[in-house]
Copies of this chain bind each other. A is one copy, B any other.
Amino acid sequence: MKTLIIVSHPEIDESASQQYLKEALPDSNEITFHHLESTYPDGKIDIEREQELLQQHDRIIFQFPFYWYSSPPMLKHWQDEVLTENFAYGYGGNKLKDKELGLVLVIGMPEKEYQVGGKEGFSLSTLTTPYQAMAKKTQMRFLKPFLIFQFHYMEETEKMRMLTAYQQYLMIEDFDTLKAKENWFLQQIEAMDEQFLPRGSTFVLEQVKELIEDNRMELDEIQMYLDQAGGSL
């Protein structure tokens, strides 16, 4: 699965959160990082190139700071220019069909304000409907958004946990299932280069791996039992 991260931020070098996310990108040829403002400093978008990029990837991510409940102007410009009729919608416009659309939003206010009675007053499920409607129109599958609230107030451990979830959001198919997350962790452990690990940690990792696998076996057994019970009812 190939993932295209379309980042829009007018001053990305000054953004601590965007830099943090960028540095944590896995070194994988399955992931393309694409910052619009630095690719097109004069705002003139190469539509053909962008449409090719979209066709070469399966999961499309819009990553941006959530200013005034929407994207920076450059991403909107990109939408207006690149998502043309007969490409993205309309007659013959099925080039994005069955691809996934995800959002990675960096949000300044705390999560609890995004509800009725909260300071922002609207949920993020409601505020992001323009992107959901875009996914519907282009026949894409809209993923649960990845929301980063108040990055500046996050503790180091929170940031680390967030990064893991971010990498999963980019890379795992069905990233929202426990099984997929387990597999991802197992792959990460496999991929670790022993010679760079501290003494003794190989043994610990082996144990962790066995634990995850044992857990999964037990869960699968319970599932099988439940399925059979359901069948005999």
Contacts and interface: CB of A to CB of B under 8 A. Distances in A.
A211 interface: no
A157 to B, nearest CB: 30
A127 interface: yes
Interface residues of A, number: 28
B130 A69 contact: yes
A136 B10 CA distance: 25
B69 A73 contact: no
A68 interface: yes
Nearest to A10: B80
A134 to B, nearest CB: 6
Interface in A60-108: 67-74, 76-77, 79-80, 83
A133 interface: yes
Contacts of A29: none
Contacts of A133: 69, 120-122, 127
Given A76-B76, A121-B132, A127-B133, 14 more contacts: A10-B80, A68-B76, A68-B79, A68-B80, A69-B129, A69-B130, A69-B133, A70-B70, A72-B76, A73-B73, A73-B76, A119-B137, A122-B129, A122-B132
